[in-house]
Amino acid sequence: MLNDLDRRSRHPEYSLERAAQRDTAGSDRDRAFVLHLVQGVLRWRLRLDWIIQQGLRFPFRNIRPDVLNVLRLAVYQIFFMDRVPDSAAVNEAVKQVKGIAANHVVRSVNGILRQVCRGKMHICCPDRSSDVIHYLSVCHSYPEWLVRRWVKEMGEEDAEKLLAAGNRVPSLVVRTNTLKIARAELIALLQREGIAAKPTNFAPEGLVLEGLKGPVDRSPSLRSGYFQVQGEAAQVCSHLLSPESGETVLDVCSGLGGKSTHMAQLMRDRGLIVGIDRNRRKLQKLVESSLRLGIHVIEPLAGDAEQGLSRLLRCSFDRIMVDGPCSALGVISRHPDVKWNREEGDLLRLKKLQKRILDEACLLLRPGGKMLYATCTLSREENEDVAEAFLRGHREMKLVDLRKRAPAWAKDLVNDEGFLKCFPHLHGTDGFFGGVFEKLN
* CATH number attached to the domain at 172-229: 3.30.70.1170
What single-letter DSSP state applies at residue 122? G
Whether 32 shows a pLDDT value over 90: the answer reads: no
Domain boundaries, the chain: 2-122, 132-166, 172-229, 232-439
pLDDT tens by residue, 220-263: 999 999 999 999 999 999 999 999 999 999 999 999 999 999 99
Q: Are 240 and 265 in contact (CB under 8 A)?
A: no
The dihedrals phi and psi of 308, each to the nearest 5 degrees, come to 100, 75
Whether 284 shows a pLDDT value over 60: the answer reads: yes
CA distance 321 to 371: 6
Whether 17 shows a pLDDT value over 70: the answer reads: no
Confidence bin at 26 (pLDDT 50/70/90) = low
Q: Are 181 and 175 in contact (CB under 8 A)?
A: no
How confident is the prediction for the chain on average, in pLDDT?
93
Whether 41 shows a pLDDT value over 70: the answer reads: yes
CA distance 40 to 386: 33
Helix/strand/coil for 414: strand
Which of 1-15, 21-35, 359-373: highest mean pLDDT?
359-373
Nearest to 355 by CA among 392, 319, 328: 392
Whether 24 shows a pLDDT value over 70: the answer reads: no
Confidence bin at 98 (pLDDT 50/70/90) = very high
pLDDT tens by residue, 78-91: 999 988 899 999 99
User: Residues 348-351: contacts with CB within 8 Å, 24+ apart?
Assistant: 348/381, 350/324, 350/325, 350/326, 350/382, 351/381, 351/382, 351/385, 351/386
Q: Which CATH class is domain 2-122?
A: mainly alpha
Q: What is the pLDDT of residue 22?
A: 60
Q: What is the pLDDT of residue 25?
A: 55
Q: HSE-up of 196 (CA within 13 Å, CB side)?
A: 3
Q: What is the pLDDT of residue 71?
A: 97
Q: How many CB atoms lie within 10 A of CB 422?
A: 28
Q: Which CATH class is domain 232-439?
A: alpha beta
One-letter identity of residue 429: T
Q: Which residues are identified as catalytic?
A: 376
CA distance 225 to 295: 10
Q: Are 114 and 91 in contact (CB under 8 A)?
A: no
pLDDT tens by residue, 117-172: 998 888 889 999 999 999 999 999 999 999 999 999 999 999 999 999 999 999 99
pTM, two decimal places: 0.92
Q: HSE-up of 85 (CA within 13 Å, CB side)?
A: 3
The dihedrals phi and psi of 156, each to the nearest 5 degrees, come to -65, -45
Q: Are 429 and 233 in contact (CB under 8 A)?
A: yes
pLDDT tens by residue, 377-390: 999 999 999 999 99
Domains 2-122 and 232-439 share a fold: no
